[in-house]
Structure 1
Amino acid sequence: MSTPGNNKRVQDVMHYGVECIGEHDSLRKATRMMRDLSVGALPICGDDDRLKGIITDRDIVIKCCAADKDLDSTTAGELAHGLVWVKADSGVEEALEKMGRHQVKRLPVIDDKRLVGMVSEADLAKELPDDKLAEFVHQIYAPS
């Protein structure tokens, strides 16, 4: 197993070809995109083609469905949160640090000011020895 610090970059472990949900698109559209793409999170892009945040399946359930909001009239932009991202050429350790600090499981990946992919905790966990993996999991799931 490789170890962090072996110069692995985020671009070496991320998922390419990520699709955005528009900030004005409905949450119903977001749920269908998640279903069709088999993902649990989508980056939210604005009219200016810039990253505005990220929305997760859990956000939709907690902040829309459980709050009795309408999936058709609530937009992805209304639930946008977590404008945390990582550069494609950043080291794996930087992505781990950001995920731990912000307690997020996925990060959008940016290259030349454009969204190029997503990196998940599972992608990064494959690069960690057992002791570092345990520390990382604790940071992500520890109460804030």
Structure 2
Amino acid sequence: MKFLVEYTSTLDKKSLKYNIEECSFDTEPSIKEINFDIVLNKINLTVVDNDNKIVQLWGFSGYNEWIKSNHEAPPCQKGILKVLDDLEPGFSYCVSKDDFPVYVNIRTGWVCIGNPEGKGSVVEFINNCIAIIDDDKEFVSLWLRPEKLPNI
């Protein structure tokens, strides 16, 4: 699956929450109408319009499986994250057949799904949601900093 990063001066004003009881991430306000979802582990990245822009994030991520680390979120610019593939609406598509490791930095509050040392284009596409896309336009990692983390 291929992705495109477009840098802009603004980004979607949403808040990222982690529901401790449900072990899940969610962005608010949420959008009910979707074209399709891109699935990373059990996290859904929702695409809603014809230009394949990812506009929300939600889904399960059990914190008991997170690996404690000291990795830092990379410096980033605001922008848009798009899916380049021509995908049929109404379905979910996996980024990878295997789950990515999930790391958490308790001190900074950042959770990383994927390679925390990966390089590429770094974009904050929703408040406190950062993606790294490599030179081959493939997913490297997703960095999330919800308003509150569970006690780990």
TM-score (normalizing by structure 1): 0.29
> TM-score of the superposition, structure 2-length normalised?
0.28
Q: Looking at secondary structure, tell me which structure has more strand per residue.
A: 2
